[in-house]
């Protein structure tokens, strides 16, 4: 608990002065104001995160948390739990969906066994196992509060180590059969929203299994009554180890002033848990894509994180992060490489005054 508390205490708002200076540089680029849209927003946000106007990404990583979920015993998943162990093998040998996208983006994969149900003897998998999968949360809490804290702190530790190794852009990913049910339960516990806005089909459930999934989520939350004002209680009772681990990744990045990219539904549920633990953590998050899952739209409304891509994707693993990495890097090139109004003899202050006058007459 000490590491978690220290991390929460270290998180501060992003730097508004540096963001204003970055905006001045962006406006000085030879283009109509605001014409590069979200690219401008990203460049400004990264400046606020790092405290630097000029930013270059040196090393990128997607931290993939892997864990099993006892709730699969309720028939809420299309695939058997053995797939999680196979996924650990594939993601470290370059055969998962995230691998070809990460390779294209020039990003590394950091694979973490935080709760796979069996032992994983793979040299490229970090063994940080908290327990052999969660319990079936329709019958009992998914884990103990101590285990939930350990899982969050494991995410903090793994991410902090990566940052110390020079990674300055982090993405979040997960692999775990049954984790869409856990993420739906966490989202339902936090919001109490209509169940059809929370629960989706995940990896392609039948109509019968889909109905069962919604029933399980509702009944588990009714049974355990997780406190929506206590994120650790929610993670303990109806969460998963990979969600808790990703929560720690978000908090570590915010504490160390490193931009962190959200992925799909499960990743964004972890982002919500991090925000509930420390609201200012949201300022360090860059959303990648809107998942096809219905809960993703609800999360966008709650967190205010506006995804840059809509690709009808719902794979998870950090695939959306890999796509977004290239866009983030492109946004940072704007300040470094675009020509400026200096070509016509105008200073930054002159252009700034002109833009302020324009926006005063034609507010956005």
Active-site residues: which are they? 317
Q: 11 φ, ψ to 5°?
A: -80, 125
**287 Rama sector, left if φ>0, alpha if ψ -120 to 50, beta otherwise:** beta
Distance CA 237, CA 140 (A): 8
Q: Which residues contact 214 (CB under 8 A, 6 or more apart)?
A: 195, 196, 199
Query: How many DSSP H helices and E strands does the chain contain?
Result: 15, 6
DSSP one-letter code for 280: G
Q: How many CB atoms lie within 10 A of CB 59?
A: 15
Strands 125-127 and 260-262: unpaired
Structure tokens that stand for 245 in this block: 């681990």
């Amino acid at each position: 608990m000490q590491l978690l508390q220290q991390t929460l205490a270290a998180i501060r708002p992003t730097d508004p002065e540096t963001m204003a200076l970055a905006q001045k540089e962006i406006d000085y680029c030879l283009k109509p104001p605001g014409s590069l849209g979200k690219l401008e927003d990203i460049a400004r946000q990264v400046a606020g995160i790092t405290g630097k106007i000029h930013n270059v990404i040196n090393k990128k990583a997607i931290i993939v948390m892997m864990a099993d979920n006892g709730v699969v015993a309720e028939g809420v998943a299309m695939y058997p739990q053995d797939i999680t162990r196979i996924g650990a093998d594939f993601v470290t040998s370059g055969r998962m969906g995230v691998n070809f996208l990460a390779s294209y983006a020039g990003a590394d994969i950091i694979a973490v066994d935080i709760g796979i149900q069996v032992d994983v003897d793979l040299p490229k998998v970090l063994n940080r196992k908290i327990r052999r999968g969660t319990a079936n949360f329709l019958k009992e809490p998914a884990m103990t509060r101590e285990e939930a804290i350990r899982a969050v702190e494991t995410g903090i530790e793994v991410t902090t180590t990566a940052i110390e190794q020079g990674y300055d852009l982090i993405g979040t990913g997960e692999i775990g059969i049954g984790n869409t049910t856990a993420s739906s339960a966490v989202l339902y516990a936090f919001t109490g929203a209509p169940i059809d806005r929370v629960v989706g089909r995940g990896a392609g459930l039948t109509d019968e299994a889909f109905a069962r999934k919604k029933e399980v989520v509702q009944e588990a939350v009714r049974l355990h009554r997780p406190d929506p004002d206590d994120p650790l209680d929610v993670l303990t009772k109806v969460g998963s180890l990979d969600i808790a681990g990703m929560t720690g990744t978000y908090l570590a990045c915010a504490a160390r002033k490193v931009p962190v990219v959200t992925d799909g539904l499960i990743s964004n549920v972890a982002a919500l848990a991090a925000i509930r633990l420390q609201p200012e953590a949201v300022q360090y998050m860059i959303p990648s894509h809107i998942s096809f899952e219905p809960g993703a739209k609800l999360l966008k409304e709650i967190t205010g994180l506006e995804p840059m891509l809509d690709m009808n994707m719902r794979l998870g693993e950090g695939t959306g992060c890999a796509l977004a990495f290239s866009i983030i890097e492109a946004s940072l090139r704007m300040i470094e490489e675009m020509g400026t109004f200096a070509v016509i003899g105008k200073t930054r202050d002159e252009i700034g005054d002109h833009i302020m006058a324009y926006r005063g007459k034609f507010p956005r």
